[in-house]
Amino acid sequence: MEEILSKADQAKIRQYAGLAEELGELHPEVLELAYQQQWFKLFVPEQYGGPGKKLPEILRLEETLAEADGSLAWTVTLCSGAAWFAGFLDVDLAKELFADRKVCFAGSGAIGGTATATPHGYLVNGTWKYASGALHATVFTANCTLKNPDGTDVLTAEGKPAVKSFIFKRSEIGILAGWSYFGLVATGSHAFEIENLIAPANRSFKINKAIQVADQGFDYPFLQLAETTLAVNSLGMAKHFMELVEETFYARSGLKRYNETQVAYFDAELQRCKKELNDLREQFYSAFDLSWYQLLNDQTIDEVLLSKVSLLSRQLAHCARRTSDTLFPYCGLEAAKKETTINRIWRDIHTASQHALLTFEQ
């Protein structure tokens, strides 16, 4: 089987992870590796110069990246996920954007702005939070409520405010520094704003509508695509955390105070947590892979199966956070020291757990 991530690349990522946290953004050495490996273009089809990877392979890669460094994996996941919109963009615009070797999409799923149609395009104003990779992104995506010239909402056929997604270039937005959270620090997930910009009409798009490329997988439902990619991030981080738990426990200064029964209890808890996470991982990939093959073979996915994929994504993310909390107290003060790797991973897991998409397990 082809190696998902070389040992040399894994070592480089881990070498610079702590430094990246100090910088508040991905380290230049790791950014260059991401450009070389086209990690920000994972979903970009070959006709636009991307690697043309498919979701089953991408999920395994993102899990492996998260096992190396949570901030890198989260940034790759969110930025490459935004670049998935390539399948729905105006073809000429897509060719222009993806001609850049360092192209990186960042953005927000929130509806943070307004867009008013004008003879020359759309007048856009707004502010959007949490754009992972904002400090090195070249393209930004954002959702806007459509407005009439008099300021009232444009309504859909169902009488609801109409919303469109837009593409903006780096030179058209302003970064609002504000990613002050205790985890995923190197993602640099800052906010951005736009003031009185006239965006050409070809900058708007709709996902899962009018696919512009003849490639497999662009009709995979976006909800499950987002849920699965986020879940494997938590999975990879939890695997790395548990990798460090055992050595941290046996290296703690107070180990001699524990008797054989207590040490055996810790070992049993560690193995139980590993098994719980691995069992859920197998169920998750089994359900996801089946949904993918259904889409390719039948051009549709059974709704019951899609619900199962969603449920297992949530369960996997919750299990990752729960097992890290179960094992954290056994690691001593070293795990509470913010400069240590195990502490950074614990903080990354808990920051990732706050994503609204996976908040509720059921």
Domain annotation for the chain: domains and CATH numbers:
1-211 (2.40.110.10), 222-358 (1.20.140.10)
pLDDT of amino acid 46: 87
Give yes or no for residue 217 having a pLDDT over 80: no
pLDDT digits (tens, 9 = 90+) for 280-339: 999 999 999 999 999 999 999 999 999 999 999 999 999 999 999 999 999 999 899 999
pLDDT of amino acid 271: 98
- Pairwise CA distance, residues 167 & 156, whole Å: 21
Place of tokens 């691995």: 278
Average the pLDDT over 68-88 and give the result. Answer: 92
- For residue 43 the two structure tokens come to 């979903």
- Pairwise CA distance, residues 122 & 115, whole Å: 6
For residue 67, the one-letter residue type is E
- CB of 26 within 8 A of CB of 40? no
pLDDT of amino acid 208: 60
pLDDT of amino acid 214: 54
Give yes or no for residue 1 having a pLDDT over 50: no
**Mean pLDDT (the chain, rounded):** 94
pLDDT of amino acid 230: 98
pLDDT of amino acid 85: 81
95 three-class SS: helix
- Pairwise CA distance, residues 94 & 211, whole Å: 13
Average the pLDDT over 135-159 and give the result. Answer: 96
pLDDT of amino acid 211: 62
Place of tokens 């109409």: 162
Give yes or no for residue 209 having a pLDDT over 90: no
Across 179-256, the runs of DSSP E, i.e. the strands, are 190-199, 204-205
- Relative orientation angle of helices 341-352 and 7-23, to the nearest 10 degrees: 80
Give Cβ neighbours of residue 341 (< 8 Å, ≥ 6 apart).
14, 17, 18, 244
pLDDT confidence band for 75 (50 / 70 / 90): very high
Average the pLDDT over 238-250 and give the result. Answer: 96
How many CA atoms lie less than 13 Å away from 108 in the CB half-sphere?
A: 20
Give yes or no for residue 10 having a pLDDT over 70: yes
The percentage of residues in the chain with a pLDDT greater than 70, rounded to a whole number, is 97
Q: ∠15-17-18 over CA atoms, to 5°? A: 95
The percentage of residues in the chain with a pLDDT greater than 90, rounded to a whole number, is 86
Task: Please state whether beta strands 139-147 and 105-118 pair in parallel, antiparallel, or not at all (unpaired).
Answer: parallel
